[in-house]
A and B are shown apart, each in its own frame.
Chain A
Amino acid sequence: MRIPCPYCGERDLSEFVYNGDPVPRPDPAAADAPRRFYEAVYLRDNPAGPHQELWYHANGCRGWLRVDRDTRTHDVLGAAFAGT
């Protein structure tokens, strides 16, 4: 698999570390924070089709990327810095 890093260009999968879904960190002050954190940390959808996930360019620019990938074909549809 090849991931188009917005900083380094298209790079081989072996340079990256996978880290699951880009779930926003819940509001820790919310009344139901424990439930929200539980869901954010443990509950994952497993879609067949386009899917967003986080990849860390560990052996590259150290950028955290949000990658769009089709789970059926492994086609990488795009990648952007996760914080933007």
Chain B
Amino acid sequence: MGHPAARATGNRLGSGGLIDRKQPLRFSFDGSTYHGYAGDTLASALLGNGVKLFGRSFKYHRPRGLLTAGSEEPNALVELRRGPWREPNSRATTVELFDGLDAQSQNRWPSLKFDIGAVNSLFSPLFAAGFYYKTFMWPASFWEKVYEPAIRRAAGLGRASGEADPDHYEKMHAFCDLLVIGGGPAGLAAALSAARSGARVILCDEDYVLGGRLIGDAREIDGCPGSIWAKHTAAALEAMPNVRVLRRTTVFGVYDGSTFGAVERVADHVPEPPPHQPRQRLWKIVARRSVLASGAIERHIVFGGNDRPGVIMASAARTYLNRFAVIPGSRAAVFANCDDAWTTALDLARSGVRVEAILDTRTDTNPLLASKAERAGIPLFPNAQVIDTRGSHALKAITIRSADGRARDLAVDLLAVSGGWNPNLGLTTHLGSRPNWSDRLAAFVPGKAPTGMTVVGAARGSYGLADGLREGMAAGIAAAEAGGFAARREPAPKADDDHTGIKPFWHVTASSSKAFVDFQNDVTSEDVALAAREGFKSVELLKRYTTLGMATDQGKTSNVNGHAMMAEFTGRPMSEVGTTMFRPPYTPVAIAAFAGHHRGRQFRPTRLTAGHRWAEQQGASFVEAGQWLRAQWFARPGESDRLTTVSREVRETRAKVGVCDVSTLGKIDIQGADAGAFLDRIYANMFSTVPVGKVRYGLMLREDGIVMDDGTSARFADDHFVMSTTTANAGKVMQHLEHARQVLWPELDVQLVSVTEQWAQYSIAGPSSRALLERLLGEAFDVSDAVLPYLGCAEFTWRGVSARIFRVSFSGEFAYELAVPANFGDAAIRAIMEAGAEFGIIPYGTEALGVMRIEKGHVAGNELNGMTTAADLGLGRMMSKKKDFIGRVLAERSGLVDPERPSLVGIQPVDRAGRLRAGAHVLACGADATMENDQGYVTSVAFSPMLGHWVGLGFVKRGPARIGERARAYDPVRGGDIEVEIVSPIFFDPEGKRLHG
């Protein structure tokens, strides 16, 4: 392409690059204002302004600059934005510049240039490999009080904002015939050849410009600049209705069943998301086939001072030059073991940078490249190495050792390094496949790819451009044909020549100063050597011992160097040493993207009953019951606390009449000739004998003999029951019944459907409940004992609507439950209140309901806690001896019929003014509070307004036999310790007279 050397501003070329010079952008870094252009990254814009110092390293606080120009960047991590929008550990190399961008360096104090933490370098033994583990051998307190706080202060990455994320995130699901991961030449070719057949194609690329290396390199395809070819191909794809091109989208994970996770950065590149747009979007993509065209990541060489700002990957130098028109230095040298980096020297020279040397570790270099370099006037040093670098905050000079063994200094401010390329194969390992070492390529290449995935181009080690294009096309056509589409075979585009020669070279042994393997974790060559000496020779142990390959970059630029050095130190071949596996995510993904809209109140659905609005209008306070909101109590003006309100609701219900919304209880409609026989197997007690028009209380067990749920079932016809379940277990019971129906006894003629949401149901309880219903229903239904006795049920038509009535009671009062279709629930509760006005009706909430059931000794969720048997609940008699049912056999196990088991009792304080606490443990009077002395526990407590003191239910060893005994209720959590009496669980109306009016 050829760039004129004329410089417009700073380090910026006057023309060329994929930036828009007509769109200058203002931004700030550490409080200073700079200018860049649309198309820049934060990294390229800062480099264009001559900024080379980007951050401080993790442990030693060494000054660090850009190493790369991509998402593999280990050094240039910055904090973006302010306040709740602050986003730490953003890679400056991937941050798309926008006007007003506010960025700060991190892990430095008081400033990036002068960082106190840099003294850590003097204490580097403190941070050497394995220090943490060795320190644990000292007294724990020494670690906790001295070392850990010191290390936590000194070492670190960015700071989280600590505030709620104010932006929106959303989730999308997509399906396609072909997912192409990576929009470089191979990926574009694959997408285009598959899309032309009509197949549904999704192409994802993490960058905001498609083209991969084509936009960083000065290449040609069909005689046209590579970046232009990429632009035209992308435009052609976007014009097709069967193609979705997702820019700024990272495929971060491969999951079972050809499912992929991707995150799209919808609005990270603008000051704030446009209206109705999320900040980021999480994609779950199901693809018949996939093509992995993720390219390769250049690796560095380990030598003394290789982390100094100004030492940069050779390919990154080209990217800054060609894509961003930024001159990354004025006097450069190239240090490499491969042909590819020579292109960097040639590109730099062509742009007017003085290239002082190409230092190649190989003796035999590529003659064609050598002649090009000579023509460009670049001095060549075969069989040479860089031993050290100098410069405080930026590179000033390098020390080289040439083939003759002599060391000398070169004054340069840019050193472009390449140790070759690693296929970017992370996604091939997510389902457990291990990469294989290739001696020919001096790199790990993908092992068996996940089902349906084809790896093409540099990602499988085919570094040549022509090879990548050809492989991409072939994979696209194969994917289309596998999906049943007829694909045309077009000639592959013609590419210019590649030079891919390499001879492995990992580290400069002659260096004596700190030589970094992993920049992000400050792992040095000495740490790897120490791990080898101490026997941590497996790559997995090396990783844990030294932290090599951990943190946000997951070793993308460091792993293979570290593993190769371990191979050298232990005299093993690379194929034997192997490499660590990658797990999702490929690059860090914000938790907010995974959460999407499922945050706060949107974490799960909120279910409201048909009478919810009415309850709100009555001033109800609501409580969550599973997903439901239920009215907890209805405070009246002047009632200062909930106890006053709840006690009033109980007293007035028991004295007159009260109404409670019980719509949230699960309702399952059960029909079929075998419905009765089915319920006999589900419930511990008998149901096939329930007459039509009657309700029976039932108890169901799990197959292990423990109680699962309780509730009533009403028989409306021989072949029709309606079951009620507890609110909490409605879904679980439905699943249990479906299991029994479909898996255990498919031969039974029975059908189930959940009708919980189809019916609004109100409990009308209290001595005036019958008078109220007479008034309310009038001619529609006769609620006399003759028609509807205790435990009767009926269906009837009321005001043109089908209604159901059940004579059941949880409160112990004379009571009914009235059910209407949910659409009429609001009208029904208003009608009930109107009809009840003359009887003094009050609405009561779940709290009063809870008090009344405790007064009556009725068990509920606190007692059906997954550990109790029917006998524990005092309901052992319900276990039928005449039939089999789920849980019968195992309920007879000796451990479950042990008479010593804690079983249900009532508990009340001896001093009636005392306060009981649920959760308290029951001990014998005078016994020490030890596990051995534990006699049981209190499950439910309430202040009984009818008795005027606290009452509770609980489980006590041999409970029923101990009624009348005294014991100790010990509650260490809340400091409760009172003397109690063990009594019958039925505190109020023990004869049950009130049920019958």
The residues of A with any CB-CB pair to B shorter than 8 Å are: 1-2, 12-13, 17, 19, 22, 25-26, 28-29, 33-34, 37-38, 40-42, 54, 56, 58, 62-64, 73-76, 81-84
Contacts and interface: CB of A to CB of B under 8 A. Distances in A.
A2 B743 contact: no
B257 A76 contact: yes
A23 to B, nearest CB: 10
Contacts of A83: 742-743, 746
A22 B257 CA distance: 23
Contacts of A81: 742
A28 B256 CA distance: 39
Given A37-B889, A37-B890, A41-B890, A64 B739 contact: yes
Nearest to B284: A12
B893 A34 contact: yes
A17 B259 CA distance: 19
B703 interface: yes
Contacts of B889: 26, 28, 33-34, 37
A62 B256 contact: no
B738 A84 contact: no
Contacts of A74: 256-257, 431
A64 B256 contact: no
Interface string B880-899: 00001000111011000000
Nearest to B704: A41
Given A56-B735, A64-B742, A83-B746, A34 B892 contact: yes
Contacts of A76: 257
B781 to A, nearest CB: 34
Contact of A34 (B257, B432, B742, B890): B890
Contacts of B734: 62
Contacts of A42: 704
A83 to B, nearest CB: 3
B739 A1 contact: no
B451 interface: yes
A2 B286 contact: yes
Interface string B537-564: 0000000000000000000000000000
Given A25-B703, A62-B738, 20 more contacts: A1-B255, A1-B256, A1-B259, A2-B258, A2-B286, A28-B884, A28-B889, A34-B893, A37-B889, A37-B890, A54-B743, A63-B742, A64-B738, A64-B739, A64-B742, A75-B451, A76-B257, A81-B742, A83-B742, A83-B746
List 5 tightest A-B contacts by C-beta distance, closest first. Answer: A83-B746, A2-B257, A74-B256, A1-B256, A28-B884
A58 to B, nearest CB: 7
Contacts of B451: 75
Given A2-B286, A82-B743, A37 B738 contact: no
Nearest to B738: A62
Nearest to A69: B256
Contact of A64 (B255, B259, B284, B743): B743
B973 interface: no
Chain B interface: which size bin?
Answer: 20 to 34
Interface in B775-819: none
B703 A2 contact: no
Nearest to B735: A56
Contacts of B746: 83-84
B931 interface: no
Q: Which of A25, A81, A82 has the most B CB atoms < 10 Å from its CB? A: A25
B703 A37 contact: yes
A13 B284 CA distance: 12
A22 B271 CA distance: 55
Contacts of A84: 746
Contacts of B744: 25
B739 A19 contact: yes
Contacts of A22: 743
Contact of A56 (B256, B431, B432, B739): B739
B742 A2 contact: no
Interface string B844-887: 00000000000000000000000000000000000000001000
A28 B881 CA distance: 13
Interface in B700-756: 703-704, 731, 734-735, 738-739, 742-744, 746
A84 B703 CA distance: 22
Contact of B742 (A1, A58, A82): A82
A74 B731 CA distance: 27
Given A2-B258, A28-B888, A41-B704, A17 B742 contact: no
A63 B741 CA distance: 10
B670 to A, nearest CB: 14
Contacts of B890: 34, 37-38, 41
A44 to B, nearest CB: 14
B707 to A, nearest CB: 15
A16 to B, nearest CB: 11
Contact of A1 (B257, B735, B738, B893): B257
Interface in B423-457: 431-432, 451
16 contacts: A1-B256, A2-B286, A12-B284, A13-B257, A19-B739, A22-B743, A28-B888, A34-B889, A34-B890, A41-B703, A42-B704, A64-B738, A74-B257, A76-B257, A81-B742, A84-B746
Given A82-B742, A83-B743, A17 B256 contact: no
Q: Which of B257, B286, B703, B746 has the most A CB atoms < 10 Å from its CB? A: B257
A17 B704 CA distance: 20
A60 to B, nearest CB: 12
Nearest to B175: A10
Contacts of A64: 738-739, 742-743
A58 B735 CA distance: 8
Contacts of A54: 739, 743
Contacts of B739: 19, 54, 56, 64
Given A41-B704, A82-B742, A17 B892 contact: no
A5 B255 CA distance: 19
A41 B734 CA distance: 20
Nearest to B739: A64
B580 to A, nearest CB: 21
Contacts of A41: 703-704, 890
A83 B747 CA distance: 9
A22 B739 CA distance: 11
Contacts of B286: 2, 12
Contacts of A29: 884
A1 B258 CA distance: 8
A18 B852 CA distance: 38
Contacts of B259: 1-2, 12
A34 B892 CA distance: 8
A25 B681 CA distance: 12
A59 B742 CA distance: 16
Nearest to B892: A34
A40 B889 CA distance: 12
A50 to B, nearest CB: 15
A56 B431 CA distance: 25
A1 B884 CA distance: 38
Interface string B245-285: 00000000001111100000000000000000000000010
Contacts of B256: 1-2, 13, 74-75
B14 to A, nearest CB: 53
Contacts of A40: 703
A73 B448 CA distance: 12
A30 to B, nearest CB: 9
A29 B889 CA distance: 9
A33 B734 CA distance: 27
Q: Which of A2, A22, A64 has the most B CB atoms < 10 Å from its CB? A: A64
Contacts of A73: 431-432
A84 B742 CA distance: 9
Contacts of A75: 256, 451
A54 B890 CA distance: 22
B262 to A, nearest CB: 15
Contacts of A13: 256-257
B257 A56 contact: no
A17 B739 CA distance: 12
